[in-house]
Amino acid sequence: MPNDPLSPDVRRFVADVIRSVNELELLLLLREHQDRAWTPQEASARLYQSEGWVAGHLEALVVLGLAAREGAHDAPAYRYAPGDERTRRTIDALAEAFARRRTRVIALIYRPEPSSAERFADAFRLRRDDEDDA
Amino acid sequence: MATAVYVLCAVASTACAVLLLRAHRRAPASLLLWSFGCFALLALNNVLLVVDLEVVPDTDLSALRAGSALAGLLLLLGGLIVDATGGQRRR
Amino acid sequence: MTEALQGGAVVAAAAIALFFWRFHRQTGDRFFALFATAFAIFAVNRGVLLALDDDSEARTLVYLVRAAAFGLIIVAIVDKNRAPRSARDG
């Protein structure tokens, strides 16, 4: 569906979990190669990110329940492992949106968090127009 | 006439409650949930008022009415206070 | 007992009005000014009820004032849905 807006699940996932495009790319790298585990070195070479950054964020993905740590303690590797089916589907939808509507997803990631006052006022908008620009 | 006004008030509160619940479902936020509770109770308060005036004029529902109004207002006030004192911690 | 509950409601409604007024100052959104006014009216309305002493929520003045408060909330919602979107959400 070409005009399919980003689903509420995707929006929520981005708001709660994804703070930068780099983080999204790391998650999508794991998703794309679900059959293998990535060491920080490998992932950092692939994403052109520092190894330290990648290592930290791979750990964060484990904490978020999106990846599993494998391998020895001093040589960890990480595999895509979202806990539940719904999260898996949400990330699939996000991956597709990122492939097809990249600017829109990027805008969503960097959108300033509305204050609670703004969210309260926005609750009274009857028309469910698509929240974000793009 | 008074009844019409209270029915209108009940409708308005219910509308607010529904909109707030809808917004909370879409993007959960404690303030939205607290406010939903507030308007739901204010709606109840207005319904009780109509019932008290029209349906059972002989029964005194004033304590129930005052209680529902206060409970509703306190929910919203609580939500606002929690929000102002650091409820803003998404991410 | 009922009086205590009503007294509490007066204070709570007034405090809520102040919070909404603060939101109005923060966001510049007149939606919150209308809500603040509505809750201020609730507070006054309930205060008057209390002062009148007997259970007189059917009294003309009282219910008209209450109608005005809910009317403001309705106006705020209608206004929110007519106004162009604010700068932030573009």
Q: Model confidence over C18-49: pLDDT tens digits?
A: 999 999 998 899 999 999 999 999 999 888 87
**Alpha carbons C32 and A124: distance in angstroms, whole number:** 11
Q: Scanning every residue of chain B, which has its alpha carbon at the shortest distance from the alpha carbon of A114?
A: B88
Instruction: Yes or no: say if A95 and A33 are a contact pair by the CB < 8 Å rule.
Output: no
Contacts of A122 in chain C (CB under 8 A): 89
Closest CA to C63 of B55, B39, B3, B52: B3
Inspect the interface and report whether the beta carbons of C89 and A122 lie closer than 8 Å.
Answer: yes
Question: pLDDT tens digits, residue range A58-73?
Answer: 999 999 999 999 988 8
Tell if the pTM clears 0.95, that is, is over it: no
> What distance in Å separates residue C89's CA from the closest CA in chain B?
16
3-state helix, strand, coil in chain C (%, to 5): 80, 0, 20
Residue B91 is assigned to a structural domain of this protein: no
pLDDT at C59: 67
Per-residue tokens: C44:
């006054």
Query: Would you call A15 and B91 a contact, using CB atoms and an 8 Å cutoff?
Result: yes
Q: What percent of chain C has pLDDT over 90?
A: 49
Distance from CA of B66 to the nearest CA of C (A): 6
Mutate to test the interface with C, among B59, B70, B81 (most CBs of C within 10 A): B70
Q: Is residue B69 part of a domain?
A: yes
- Please check whether residue A106 is in contact with residue A21, taking contact to mean a CB–CB distance below 8 angstroms: yes
DSSP state of A77: E
pLDDT, position B86 = 74
The residues that bridge with A38 in the sheet, in sequence order, are A78
Q: How confident is the model at residue A1 (pLDDT cuts 50, 70, 90)?
A: very low
Chain B residues inside the 8 Å CB shell of C12: 70, 73-74, 76-77
Residue C26 to residue C13: CA distance in whole angstroms: 20
Residue that wins the pLDDT comparison between A80 and B52: A80
Work out the average pLDDT over A122-134.
Answer: 65
Rounded (to 5) percent helix, strand, coil in chain A? 55, 5, 35
**In angstroms, rounded to a whole number, what is the distance separating the alpha carbons of residues C82 and C90?**
15
Q: Contact A122/C23, CB-based, under 8 Å?
A: no
Mean pLDDT of C59-84: 85
pLDDT at C88 over 70: no
Confidence of residue B53 (pLDDT cuts 50, 70, 90): confident
Residues of A in contact with C23 (CB under 8 A): 117, 120-121
Residue B40 lies in a domain: yes
Residue A126, helix vs strand vs coil: coil
List, as own/partner pairs, every contact residues A100-109 make where C-beta atoms lie below 8 angstroms and the sequence separation is at least 24, other chains included: A101/A6, A101/A134, A103/A134, A104/A6, A104/A132, A104/A134, A105/A6, A105/A14, A105/A24, A106/A21, A107/A132, A107/A133, A107/A134, A108/A6, A108/A11, A108/A14, A108/A132, A109/A14, A109/A18, A109/A19, A109/A20, A109/A21, A109/A24
Place of tokens 């990480």: A78
Q: Is B90 part of any domain? A: no
Residue among C23, C77, C88 whose CB faces A124 most closely = C77
Could you give the CA distance from residue C17 to residue C3 in angstroms, rounded to a whole number? 21
pLDDT given at position A130: 47
Q: Within a domain: residue B19?
A: yes
| Residue C78 pLDDT class (50, 70, 90 cuts) | very high
Do the domain assignments include residue B25? yes
Query: Does residue B13 sit within a domain?
Result: yes
Per-residue confidence band for A128, with pLDDT thresholds at 50, 70 and 90: low
Instruction: Report the pLDDT value the prediction gives residue B91, as an integer from 0 to 100.
Output: 41
Calculate how close chain A gets to B78, using CA atoms only, in Å: 14
What phi and psi values does residue A67 have, to the nearest 5 degrees?
-140, 160
State the ipTM, two decimals.
Answer: 0.86
Q: How many helices (H) and strands (E) does chain B have?
A: 3, 0
Tokens describing residue A116? 């609670």
The answer to the question of residue B54 being in a domain is yes
Number of domains in chain B: 1
**Cα(C46)–Cα(C6) distance, rounded to whole angstroms?**
7
Judging contacts by C-beta atoms under 8 Å, the chain A residues touching residue B88 are 115-116
- In this prediction, residue C61 carries a pLDDT of 76
Cβ atoms of residues C17 and C37 within 8 Å = yes
Domain that holds residue B28: 2-85
Task: Say if B89 is an interface residue toward chain A (CB within 8 Å).
Answer: no
Q: Using the beta-carbon criterion (under 8 Å), do C89 and A117 form an inter-chain contact?
A: no
**Distance between CA atoms of residues B11 and C77, nearest Å:** 13
Give yes or no for a contact between A86 and B63, defined as CB atoms under 8 angstroms apart. Answer: no
Name every chain C residue with its beta carbon within 8 A of the beta carbon of A123: none
* Chains with 3 or more CB pairs under 8 A to chain A: B, C
Which of A78-92, B37-51, C69-83 shows the lowest mean pLDDT across its residues? C69-83
Long-range contacts for B56-61 (Cβ within 8 Å, ≥24 apart)?
Answer: B60/C55
Query: Are the beta carbons of A121 and C88 separated by less than 8 Å?
Result: no
